[in-house]
Structure 1
Amino acid sequence: MDMKKRIKSPEQAFLSGLQSQEGNGYRMVKWLGVLMAFAIIAQAIGLAKICSDLALHNSFSLDAAALAASAFFIKVIIQYAREQISAASSRSIRFNLRQRLIDHLTRLGPNRLHIDEDAALSTRVYEQVDALDDYYTRYVPQVFLVTFVPLTILIAVAPVSWVAFGIFVVTAPLVIFFMILVGHKAAQANRKQFSVLSLLSNQFLDLNQGLAELKRLGQTNAARERLSLTAHEYQKTTMGVLRLAFLSTGTLELFSSVAIAMVALYLGLGLLEQLPWQVGVAPVSLFAAFYLLLLAPEFYLPLRQLGNDYHAKQKAEAAATDIAEVLGHTQTDRTSQTTIACADTTKQCLIKFDSLSWRQGGRDRLKPMTATIQSGERVWLSGQSGSGKSSLMTVLLGFEHDYVGSVLISGCELRSTNIEQWRKRLAWLPQKPEWVQGTIRQNLELGIGRRSENDLRFALERAQCWAVVNKLPLGLDTPISEAGTGLSGGQMQRLSIARALLSEADIWLLDEPCSSLDNETADQILDILDQVSVGKTLIIVSHDTHPVRWADQHWFMSKEGLHVEAQTVTTDV
Structure 2
Amino acid sequence: MRKRVKTPEHQFLFDLQQAEKRRFLAVKWLGVLIALAIVAQALGLASVFANLVLEGDLPLKSAALAGGAFLFKAVLQFVREQLSATASRNIRFSLRKRLIRHLAHLGPKRLELDEDAGLSTRVYEQVDALDDYYSRYVGQVFLVTFVPLTILVSVLPVSWVAFFIFALTAPLVIFFMILVGHKAANANRKQFKVLSLLSNQFMDLNQGMAELKRLEQVDIARERLALTASEYQKNTMGVLRLAFLSTATLELFSSVAIAMVALYLGLGLLEQLPWQAGVAPVSLFAAFYLLLLAPEFYLPLRQLGNDYHAKQKAEAAATQIAEILLLTESDQEDSAAVLNPHSLGKQSACLIEFQNVHWADAGRIRLANLSAQIKAKDRVWLRGRSGVGKSSLMAILLGFEQHYEGGLLIEGEPLKASNLSAWRRRLAWLPQTPEWVQGTIRQNLELGLGHCTDDALRNALMKAQCWDFVGSLRFGWDTAISEAGTGLSGGQMQRLSIARALLSQADIWLLDEPCSSLDSETAELVLNTLDEASYGKTVLIISHDTHPVIWANQQWLMTEEGVHVEAQTPISYV
Q: Same fold (TM over 0.5)?
A: yes
Structure 2 residue ranges without an equivalent (≥5): 334-342
For the pair 1:11 / 2:18, whether they are aligned, the reply is no
Name which of 272, 283, 286 aligns with 2:284: 286
- Write the letter of the residue equivalent to 1:326: I
Contact 1:334 1:401 in 2 (8 A): no
Q: 1:285 to 1:417 in 2, by over 3 A?
A: closer
Q: Give the whole-Å Cα distance in 2 for the aligned partners of 1:198 and 1:469.
A: 36
Q: Give the whole-Å Cα distance in 1 for the aligned partners of 2:319 and 2:344.
A: 46
Deviations 1:369-394 (A, max 9, x none): 22111111211111111121111111
For the pair 1:133 / 2:128, whether they are aligned, the reply is no
Residue 497 of structure 1: aligned partner: 498
Contact 2:27 2:84 in 1 (8 A): yes
Which range moves more in the overlay, 262-271 or 211-220? Answer: 211-220
Question: 1:73 aligns to what SS in structure 2?
Answer: helix
Deviations 1:231-274 (A, max 9, x none): 00000000110111111111111111111111112112222222
Which range moves more in the overlay, 441-450 or 277-286? Answer: 277-286
Q: CA deviation at 1:561?
A: 2.0
Question: 2:354 aligns to what SS in structure 1?
Answer: strand
Deviations 1:80-136 (A, max 9, x none): 111111111111211222222222222222222222222222222221111111111
Q: 1:72 to 1:417 in 2, by over 3 A?
A: closer
Deviations 1:1-30 (A, max 9, x none): 8712xx222211121111122111111100
Residue 265 of structure 1: aligned partner: 263
Deviations 1:481-519 (A, max 9, x none): 111111111111111111111111111111111111122
Which range moves more in the overlay, 15-24 or 97-106? Answer: 97-106
Q: CA deviation at 1:345?
A: 3.2
Residue 339 of structure 1: aligned partner: none
Q: Give the whole-Å Cα distance in 2 for the aligned partners of 1:485 and 1:358.
A: 39
Question: 1:160 aligns to what SS in structure 2?
Answer: coil
Contact 1:377 1:536 in 2 (8 A): yes
Residue 317 of structure 1: aligned partner: 315
Residue 33 of structure 1: aligned partner: 31
Q: CA deviation at 1:567?
A: 4.2
Q: Give the whole-Å Cα distance in 2 for the aligned partners of 1:398 and 1:259.
A: 63
What TM-score results when the alignment is normalised by the length of structure 1? Answer: 0.94
Residue 302 of structure 1: aligned partner: 300
Residue 451 of structure 1: aligned partner: 452
Deviations 1:25-64 (A, max 9, x none): 1111000000000000111111111111111111112211
Which range moves more in the overlay, 44-53 or 152-161? Answer: 44-53
Q: Give the whole-Å Cα distance in 2 for the aligned partners of 1:465 and 1:143.
A: 61
Q: Give the whole-Å Cα distance in 1 for the aligned partners of 2:546 and 2:494.
A: 21
Contact 1:383 1:545 in 2 (8 A): no
Deviations 1:274-314 (A, max 9, x none): 22222222211111111111111100000000001111111
For the pair 1:409 / 2:410, whether they are aligned, the reply is yes
Residue 82 of structure 1: aligned partner: 80
| Root-mean-square deviation (Å) | 1.9
Q: CA deviation at 1:458?
A: 2.1
Deviations 1:315-344 (A, max 9, x none): 111111112222222334569xxxxxx996
Q: Give the whole-Å Cα distance in 2 for the aligned partners of 1:61 and 1:455.
A: 83
- Equivalent pairs counted in the alignment come to 562
Name which of 98, 110, 115 aligns with 1:112: 110
Residue 463 of structure 1: aligned partner: 464
Q: CA deviation at 1:552?
A: 1.5
Name which of 136, 143, 146 aligns with 2:144: 146
Q: Give the whole-Å Cα distance in 2 for the aligned partners of 1:20 and 1:108.
A: 26
- Write the letter of the residue equivalent to 2:348: K
Residue 484 of structure 2: aligned partner: 483
- Write the letter of the residue equivalent to 2:497: S
Q: Give the whole-Å Cα distance in 2 for the aligned partners of 1:258 and 1:534.
A: 83
- Aligned pairs for 1:165-564 within 5 A: 165-333=163-331, 345-415=346-416, 418-544=419-545, 547-564=548-565
Residue 337 of structure 2: aligned partner: none
Contact 1:511 1:540 in 2 (8 A): yes
Q: 1:450 to 1:87 in 2, by over 3 A?
A: same
Q: CA deviation at 1:558?
A: 1.8
Q: 1:131 to 1:546 in 2, by over 3 A?
A: closer
Q: 1:2 to 1:346 in 2, by over 3 A?
A: farther
Q: CA deviation at 1:473?
A: 2.9
- Write the letter of the residue equivalent to 1:538: V
Q: CA deviation at 1:438?
A: 1.8
- Write the letter of the residue equivalent to 1:554: Q
Question: 1:376 aligns to what SS in structure 2?
Answer: coil
- Write the letter of the residue equivalent to 1:489: G
Q: 1:343 to 1:101 in 2, by over 3 A?
A: closer
Contact 1:354 1:370 in 2 (8 A): yes
Q: 1:218 to 1:154 in 2, by over 3 A?
A: same
Q: 1:397 to 1:343 in 2, by over 3 A?
A: closer
Residue 338 of structure 2: aligned partner: none
Question: 1:399 aligns to what SS in structure 2?
Answer: coil
Q: CA deviation at 1:415?
A: 2.1
Q: Give the whole-Å Cα distance in 2 for the aligned partners of 1:140 and 1:416.
A: 38
Q: 1:226 to 1:127 in 2, by over 3 A?
A: same
Residue 338 of structure 1: aligned partner: none
Q: CA deviation at 1:78?
A: 0.8
- Write the letter of the residue equivalent to 1:390: S
Q: Give the whole-Å Cα distance in 2 for the aligned partners of 1:218 and 1:407.
A: 48
Contact 2:554 2:569 in 1 (8 A): no
Which range moves more in the overlay, 100-109 or 144-153? Answer: 100-109
Q: Give the whole-Å Cα distance in 2 for the aligned partners of 1:289 and 1:117.
A: 63
Question: 2:347 aligns to what SS in structure 1?
Answer: helix
Contact 2:117 2:203 in 1 (8 A): yes
Q: CA deviation at 1:191?
A: 1.1
Q: CA deviation at 1:474?
A: 2.9
Q: Give the whole-Å Cα distance in 2 for the aligned partners of 1:321 and 1:468.
A: 47
Q: Give the whole-Å Cα distance in 1 for the aligned partners of 2:446 and 2:459.
A: 14
Contact 1:382 1:545 in 2 (8 A): no
Which range moves more in the overlay, 204-213 or 493-502? Answer: 204-213
Structure 1 residue ranges without an equivalent (≥5): 336-341
- Write the letter of the residue equivalent to 1:526: L
Q: Give the whole-Å Cα distance in 1 for the aligned partners of 2:255 and 2:538.
A: 76
Q: Give the whole-Å Cα distance in 2 for the aligned partners of 1:566 and 1:375.
A: 17
Q: Give the whole-Å Cα distance in 1 for the aligned partners of 2:176 and 2:454.
A: 65
Q: CA deviation at 1:472?
A: 2.5
Question: 1:405 aligns to what SS in structure 2?
Answer: strand
Contact 1:381 1:555 in 2 (8 A): yes
Contact 2:345 2:410 in 1 (8 A): no
Contact 2:345 2:413 in 1 (8 A): no
Q: Give the whole-Å Cα distance in 2 for the aligned partners of 1:222 and 1:134.
A: 39
Q: 1:352 to 1:20 in 2, by over 3 A?
A: same
Q: Give the whole-Å Cα distance in 2 for the aligned partners of 1:266 and 1:505.
A: 83
Which range moves more in the overlay, 150-159 or 87-96? Answer: 87-96
Residue 339 of structure 2: aligned partner: none
Q: 1:347 to 1:329 in 2, by over 3 A?
A: closer
Contact 2:524 2:547 in 1 (8 A): no
Q: Give the whole-Å Cα distance in 1 for the aligned partners of 2:378 and 2:537.
A: 7
Q: Give the whole-Å Cα distance in 2 for the aligned partners of 1:295 and 1:474.
A: 70
- Write the letter of the residue equivalent to 1:219: Q
Contact 1:353 1:370 in 2 (8 A): yes
Question: 1:229 aligns to what SS in structure 2?
Answer: helix
